[in-house]
Structure 1
Amino acid sequence: MTRRPPGSILVTGAGRGIGRAIAERFLDAGWRVGLFDVDPAGVAAVADGRANAVHGRLDVRDADQWGSALERFCPDGRLDVLVNNAGVLASGPFAGIDAATHRRQVDVNVTGVVLGALTGHEYLSRARRGLLLNLCSASALYGQPTLATYGATKAAVKSLTEALDLEWRADGIRGQAVRVRSLIPLFVDTEMVTRDGVHMAPVERLGVRLTPDDVAAAAWRVVHERVPLPRSPHRTVGRQTRALALASAMSPDWVNRLVVGRLAR
């Protein structure tokens, strides 16, 4: 891994949790950081006193707001890294969650990532080593009871990452690839898990072993990695997640179904 010189990185959902930790990690290293969130006060607090921080409101479901945020943060038309982090979670029995809540998860977690990729592509393709980094989840490895829609949205992010990783390989300047990667953590100590994930039995069984700083450190590694050989675009975060992902990849579906079913009891 070779440390690249500070560049520009835009982070969605940067007002708290994982997004905030990623933004602070890069701010501390001298990067120019765009902090965007539906909570403008939250990102303003993170950016306070930081000369290299730009902050603003962004509802990732709105294509026009994406365009405005990128135009404002990237006056030269280039962006080194875009982190699609903004996401929402609702846990509980599928039939007990109202349609609007299911729809909101799809709109934020899927449509928001698609719009970020679509709007950000032009800016990333002008950078020397443009990177689209999507926040995925271990819930994408196999469908999770009480997390059905959330897991489905993260499976969509996983699939989109794989497709764009192949499609954008030669979209950069002089044929240089626009890299596309995802981070796959298990449970992270954020409000999304501790507050919104109260109905998740796997949390009690597996525990919460990752912090937002752990995910930020993984994001830092991905931004600075150089991979000479073909490799999956996904990067698991933490030993527990790596073990689960490896077991899932090597086991037949019926074994994965059995394991997930037992964890969900």
Structure 2
Amino acid sequence: MSNAIQLESLESVKTSVHSTSSYSQSVFTALRRIGNGLRAHSSVSTTLAGLFTVVILIASLFPSVVARKDPYATDPVHMFQAPSAEHWFGTDQLGRDLFSRTIYGAHATVTASLLSLAIAVVGGLIIGIASAYVGGIVDTALMRSVDVLLSIPGLLLSITIVTAIGFGTTPVAVAIGVASLPGFARTTRAQTLKIKNHAYVEAAVVSGVSPLRIVFSHILRNVLGPVSVLAMLEFGAVIMSVATLSFLGFGAKPPAAEWGSLINDGRNYLITSPWISLIPGFVVVLTVLSATVLANNLKRGER
């Protein structure tokens, strides 16, 4: 009887994770399509996206300067205050200023997203270049490992990794970085295979130039362009993943502010105090849209 209950519980958790993964992916796909549609008004949308991105970056780099109040100070007298001149984004269930918490949430979420991208880009470059340049059994072994990672849904892989290494903002960033690595490895490998057959690379090999110097002088600098575009395209997806894991409770412990945890805080008050969840959620949507618009313009510039 107990085994049946455990199996039923395990199946329910598995179903919940898969449904959350599918929902997160569908939301990001919808946002990317909206971003693609905004390209019809490229000059206006790019300007607005650039301005919003600059604001988010400034807020994430200097939260103590931008935030108007202490994000952790509770005020029971002013709980569930609607947005006003005193509290621009309103207050939450503990009377904390939601604008300040959103700003500090930007610091945590954007920093984690950038760390995830750094892990994915550096790891992808190393694996992709090594696989394509060395070839043979090294190429086969590395690419089969990448294929295994690609066969696992990204969110499920991230949850598995963060469960193994512990909860928190940094573990979430590491987990998402590892889960995002295969795409960068494949892109790097494809670009390296094209570049290594160019005449100037073959001439360097014949001239006796060391493989390490060839990699840094000829291959790496030519691979960085496409990889940078991919990183910009993935930035929105990474932010969504960080926010999703934070929403599910894998991020920093309360009272730390992250965009996902802020949305989670207000889920029980959507009828009476919807701003607690909707405003941080709206900030996430605008950030993902801005990243998508800028990435699409960068991609067009690379063509």
- Identify whether the pair has TM-score above 0.5, normalized to the shorter chain: no
Greater strand content: 1
Please state which structure has a larger fraction of its residues in helix: 2
Q: TM-score, normalised by structure 2?
A: 0.22
Larger RCO: Structure 1 or Structure 2 (Cα < 8 Å, ≥ 6 residues apart)?
2
